[in-house]
Amino acid sequence: MHKNEINKCLNNPFSLKLLDEHYKSTKEIEKRDGFQSGKNNYQLLSEKEKYNSRIFRLECDLITTIDKIEFIKVFLIRIPYKKYLWKNSIDELSYIQYHLEILYHKVHTVLDVMKLLINEVYSLGITERDCSWKRLKAKVGDQIEAMTVINQYYEEFKNILENRHLNSHQGYFQDKKMDDIDFFTGYGLLKLYNNAGLEPDEEMKKRISKFYIDFKLKHFRNDKLQFIGNIQKSIYGYLTRFFLSLNEEYNKKLNSL
């Protein structure tokens, strides 16, 4: 499903022309004086080819980031080596939390790369470090479709983006459902015993239902898989619109070089 959706996103005039120009330059550069196989031959590219190359690299970065979100889903669908993870103090909730933190960062990265693509397609000359919404708006305004798309993206994922910031700078992560499993099923106690290298006594084993814990963990994991799937669906929609929005300016710049 993921590959089909990505292919749909890339089946647009902008991405197809970008790929075609990249392919042509790859073939042409091999014929030029000074070409060295296996070396960086960027200096041999024309200005037109360099322009295309910068944009092609960013589109590849964007697709790679989307792929990583799919990887997160794969990691959560079936958690491998549970006994080994548990032995090393990595419980199932911690495993899920770790991958959700990665998800938050990838959602943020998609936004960052879309900004960089606007910067390159419009040849704005903003450094990667300074390529913010504010600087883009000062250069191209906020009425062009590409800016509309990233603004809508930001508004939809605002909570995730804010949580990513808190997680990066303050180590913050909070999930009520996760906390409820920890505090109200006995799972947190089992983790404390395990992390201390202790075996729960028989009385505690009787009071804690492993069946109930497994039931809650399964539902929690399924909820997060659905959450990720919904995020992916939205991102595919934004990307389809975003790539289309760049096509006119891209062709104009390409033809002027």
Question: What digits encode the pLDDT tens for the residues 194-216?
Answer: 888 888 888 787 788 889 999 99
Write b or e for each residue in 20-29: b if 16 or more Cβ atoms lie within 10 A of its Cβ, otherwise e. ebbeebeeeb
């700078």: which residue's tokens? 169
What is residue 132's predicted lDDT score, i.e. its pLDDT? 95
Cβ within 8 Å of residue 152, ≥6 positions away: 238
Residue 30 has pLDDT above 80, yes or no: no
Q: How many residues does the chain have?
A: 257
Cβ within 8 Å of residue 170, ≥6 positions away: none
What is residue 38's predicted lDDT score, i.e. its pLDDT? 75
Distance of alpha carbon 79 from alpha carbon 85, whole angstroms: 10
Mean pLDDT of the residues in the chain: 91
Question: What digits encode the pLDDT tens for the residues 36-80?
Answer: 777 787 787 789 989 999 999 999 999 999 999 999 999 999 898
CB 19 within 8 A of CB 252: no
Question: What digits encode the pLDDT tens for the residues 90-141?
Answer: 999 999 999 999 999 999 999 999 999 999 999 999 999 999 999 999 999 9
